[in-house]
Amino acid sequence: MTLRRRAAATTLAALTAAGLLTACQTEPLGGAGSVFTVDLSSYPASLDPGLQYNTDSYAVYRNIFDQLLRRDRTSGKVVGSVATSWRRTSQTRWVFTLRDGIRFSDGSRLTAADAAYSINRILDPKLASGQLANFSAIRRATGLGTRLVIDTKYPSPTLLTFLTTLSIVPQAYVRRVGNDAFNARPMGSGPYRFVSAINGSQIALDRNTRYWGPRPQLAKVTFRAVPDIASRVADLQSGLAQVATSMTPDSAVQIRDSSNLKILSAPTERVSYLAFNTIKGGPTNDPQVRRAISLAIDYRGLIDKLQQGYARQVNSVLTPLAVGYDKALADYRYDPDAARALIAKAGAKGKTVVMATSPTYDPNIVQAIQADIQAAGLQVSIRNSDQATYLKKVQSPSHDWGSIRFGQWSCSCLDADGTIFPLFRSGTVWSSYRSDQFDTLVDRGRAELGTAQRRADYARALQLMNRDVPGIGLFQVGSIYGVTKSLQWRPDAQESFFLADMRLAS
């Protein structure tokens, strides 16, 4: 296994360097004129909350928009946000009462019609939302005044948890300007308002003076795309950034050695995984090759040598935090000899597989996997593209993204339905796997209110995945943030990056 670091592209960091002085303030951070700067690993793939929900997009737009529901930071339970109360009036109908008096940052009122529009917009195939699978249990949403009604196609055990990820958009504004303009200049009712963006480089937010909730301490925030990890560390050390996301264990050591910095980390529900193209993947169309790859990977090596205690072992693409995780499943097995034998048996020795990835992900992990697979007899060509391009490619219905996809997945829902359904159920934008038996199980799992039956269905679905190997879990991801020592904030399992929860000690 190679631990050699791939040199990441630094062009974007150089382009943003011209704007670094905006983060150097004589005024204490958090004051009216100061700028709090966050270094992201990549530029958000979308500022439209109805489209993508990858980590860097999520970190920005969830501060611009309000969510229908939220999770309590201490208990993790679903609690109200825009919705103040809710009840199930039948097996397939939910009624929500919305908070009165909320206004979007342009002064227009937020109503239940906006909440209904936000849901129905995601359900519209024309939007091609990457979140469709999470909301596809919904038949329709209707709203009038402060009353929102959601009708589902079947009893949904996960509706409330998915609604914690629903950002409410202003219907009139989106319809007036169109989807592209809305994505370029989003407007919401959250604690921050969009000010400006330099596409591919940085995004500026200001405190929303019309926000209905408590006034955030941080007045101005700039998110910058800094793909190079060393540059993110340097920005923290120099004081040009106060937070850097998606740090690696190696970089965490450097940050800990700086007296003015600290590391914040938490186990997350995110899983690092490989998905296989079983439809147009070339060699990975063969289940023997997929199984060989699963045997070729040194899982403990990834965790112990590269993650240095920040990751935990998994036995599937689910983490132990998810309803449906089956601890009875055997751990993945590392057997390079068996992997080589299977590759030879399949007649695949020397063939090339294409692995799709993004600079958002730790290149050390990607290269280690590449080395393990090549040691088994395959050649691995890494196709590295920016996050927006990567997402567009792997979500294409043409299934021409390559043979293997490296990714990290979190549904922010703590449930199997938010992971194995969107990633592997045939017909979803993420899936390149087809199995009628698997589809039946995951369809039933998302329409059954009884937890015991759901767990049984998901256990069988995971067993099918072990048989067919459409994907494998590598490890449970631990979030790693480098931050200024004065920052008071606690990361959570859902990786909720709410600026309003952050405080700077005086």
HEC letters along 321-338: CCECCCCCCCCCCCCHHH
Tokens encoding 158: 């996960």
Q: What is the per-residue pLDDT for 7?
A: 33
Q: What is the per-residue pLDDT for 180?
A: 97
Query: Number of H helices and number of E strands within the chain?
Result: 17, 18
Q: What is the per-residue pLDDT for 366?
A: 97
The pLDDT of residue 402 is above 80: yes
The amino acid present at 160, given as its one-letter code, is: L
pTM confidence score: 0.88
CA-based end-to-end distance of the chain: 46
Residue 55 vs residue 436, higher pLDDT: 436
Strands 261-276 and 78-80: unpaired
What domains can you pick out in the chain, each with its CATH number?
Answer: 36-264+480-504 (3.40.190.10), 267-478 (3.10.105.10)
Query: What mean pLDDT do residues 464-470 have?
Result: 98
| Cβ contacts of 222 within 8 Å, gap of 6 or more | 19, 22, 23, 35, 36, 37, 38, 202, 203, 204, 205
Q: What is the per-residue pLDDT for 21?
A: 34
Query: What mean pLDDT do residues 204-218 have?
Result: 98
SS3 305: helix
- What are the tens digits of pLDDT across the range 95-119? 999 999 999 999 999 999 999 999 9
How far is Cα 302 from Cα 113, in angstroms, rounded to an integer?
48
Query: What mean pLDDT do residues 339-358 have?
Result: 98
Is 147 within 8 Å of 91 (Cβ atoms)? Answer: no
How far is Cα 144 from Cα 114, in angstroms, rounded to an integer?
9
Percent of the chain with pLDDT over 70: 93
Q: Tell me the pLDDT of the chain averaged across its residues.
A: 93
- What are the tens digits of pLDDT across the range 149-161? 999 999 999 999 9
Select from 128, 123, 115, 208 the least CA-distant residue to 169: 115
Is 112 within 8 Å of 97 (Cβ atoms)? Answer: no
pLDDT band, very low/low/confident/very high, at 297 (cuts 50, 70, 90): very high
Find the helix or strand (DSSP H, E) in which 490 lies: none
Tokens encoding 362: 């730790």
How far is Cα 368 from Cα 2, in angstroms, rounded to an integer?
5
CA distances from 128 to 4, 40, 121, 125, 161 (A): 38, 25, 10, 5, 22
Strands 93-98 and 202-207: unpaired
- What are the tens digits of pLDDT across the range 21-42? 333 333 445 555 689 999 999 9
Bridge partners (DSSP) of residue 264 are 481
Alpha carbon 390 to chain centroid distance?
13
| Cβ contacts of 43 within 8 Å, gap of 6 or more | 12, 56, 199, 200, 201, 225, 386, 387, 388
Q: What is the per-residue pLDDT for 5?
A: 36
How far is Cα 329 from Cα 220, in angstroms, rounded to an integer?
48
Query: What mean pLDDT do residues 264-269 have?
Result: 95
Percent of the chain with pLDDT over 90: 89
Tokens encoding 142: 């209707």
The pLDDT of residue 338 is above 90: yes
Radius of gyration (C-alpha) of the chain in whole angstroms: 22
Whose tokens are 């007045």? That residue is: 219
CA distances from 295 to 2, 3, 115, 334 (A): 17, 19, 46, 5
